[in-house]
Amino acid sequence: MDFKFTEEQLLIQEAARDFAKTELLPGVIERDEKQEFPKEQVKRMGELGFLGMMTSEQYGGSGMDTVSYALVMEEISKVDASCSVIVSVNNSLVCWGLEKFGNEEQKQKYLTPLAKGEIIGAFCLSEPEAGSDATSQKTTAIEHGDHYIINGTKNWITNGSTADVYLVIAQTHPELKHKGINAFILEKGMAGFEIGPKEQKLGIRGSDTHSLIFNDVKVPKENRIGDDGFGFKFAMKTLAGGRIGIAAQALGIASGAYELAREYSKVRKSFGTEICNHQAIAFKLADMHTQIEAARHLVLKAAWDKDQGNNYDLSGAMAKLYASQVAMDTAIEAVQIHGGNGYVKEYHVERLMRDAKITQIYEGTSEIQKIVISRALLNK
């Protein structure tokens, strides 16, 4: 096996690392504290090509592979997970879904500006009673002549008020259950489309998370993605790729927390020496680094599977399951190594700990990943 990155992959990794340190790190604590959407930083990410990384160049994207995307996600997440989740949603859930399953008109109208970063998108699946259980959609899309009428509510939508394009999953034929679900492209400003209050979150507080309400929203038939009844399959295939992005985000959070803890341990003294010289701390660092490297291999294997055209349901779920646990464990240990300072905002690790928790929840909880993994292992 070749574990070396290509020259292009190394260059994009370096560009992402430099961007994170010079443009994300300044102000990241303030944005978290104020729950401020990183508008200027998102604009800059669009200019750098980070918002349409895997989209082909003919539609305004960077035409890069999934491994490069994972490297960028890791570097940005080390510093600001609120920004990285915006990158993840726009790339994995919105742009990829449109390029893979949208028709040419939809690609020209919506995908190109999304991939260029001129606008951003949102993926709308979760509901009050349909989070992990995507089959239980209560949002309805009733066919009416040359359009559909959409009614319902979506919860926990990233980019909820800042997106311009929304991919919405809704039930058209309840009697067909999951085979009656469709996916639609909605635009901000459509009559009856309301944006609910902003969620007050534990972590990724710079990310814009809202509920969305649809009251008789009229959507043209040409805005349906794929054939009638394709919506559930669209959502599942899109989420499978989304897990790789979130796994990379978790890896980045873990890496960022570890690096801060390691450097802190070299300067903080206790009992007459730097705390890294105490076996209790040195062993913590050894465990953290080992777990992060294991997570990194799982993430890159899933990304490689996707690039090779292999089935990545299993590898993506394993990467997301393990990396999210490593993110949580590593962030907690980083706070512990910092001692009292770990509880203080200026040292960053308390924010990384809060951000880490969401990686175990969105794109399917850890329990959902285990269902995906066990079904793959048992050929169900």
Q: What is the mean pLDDT of each run of 10 residues along the chain (380 residues)?
A: 92 98 98 97 97 97 98 98 98 98 98 97 92 84 97 97 98 96 98 96 97 98 97 95 97 98 97 97 98 98 97 97 98 98 98 98 90 92
Domain with CATH 1.20.140.10 in the chain: 233-378
DSSP string computed for 128-193: TTBSS-TT----EEEEETTEEEEEEEEEEEETTTT-SEEEEEEES-GGGGGGGEEEEEEETT-TTE
Among residues 7, 30, 363, 367, the one annotated as catalytic is: 363
pTM of the model: 0.96
In 3D, which of 136, 10, 147 has the Cα closest to residue 71?
10
Domain with CATH 1.10.540.10 in the chain: 7-120
How many Å apart are CA 199 and CA 230, to the nearest integer?
30
In 3D, which of 14, 7, 110, 5 has the Cα closest to residue 55?
110
The answer to whether 42 touches 214, Cβ cutoff 8 Å, is no
Q: Class of 233-378 per CATH?
A: mainly alpha
In 3D, which of 303, 312, 379, 362 has the Cα closest to residue 134?
362
Please tell me the predicted confidence (pLDDT) of residue 124.
97
Return the number of other C-beta atoms located less than 10 Å from residue 276's C-beta.
Answer: 19
What 3-state class would DSSP assign to 194? strand
* Distances from the Cα of 58 to the Cα of 44, 176, 195, 336, angstroms: 21, 37, 33, 49
CATH number for the segment(s) 122-231: 2.40.110.10
143 tagged catalytic = no
Please tell me the predicted confidence (pLDDT) of residue 129.
81
Domain with CATH 2.40.110.10 in the chain: 122-231
Q: In this structure, is the dihedral angle defined by the CA atoms of residues 266, 326, 364 and 357, taken in order, positive or negative?
A: negative
The answer to whether 82 touches 207, Cβ cutoff 8 Å, is yes
Q: Class of 7-120 per CATH?
A: mainly alpha
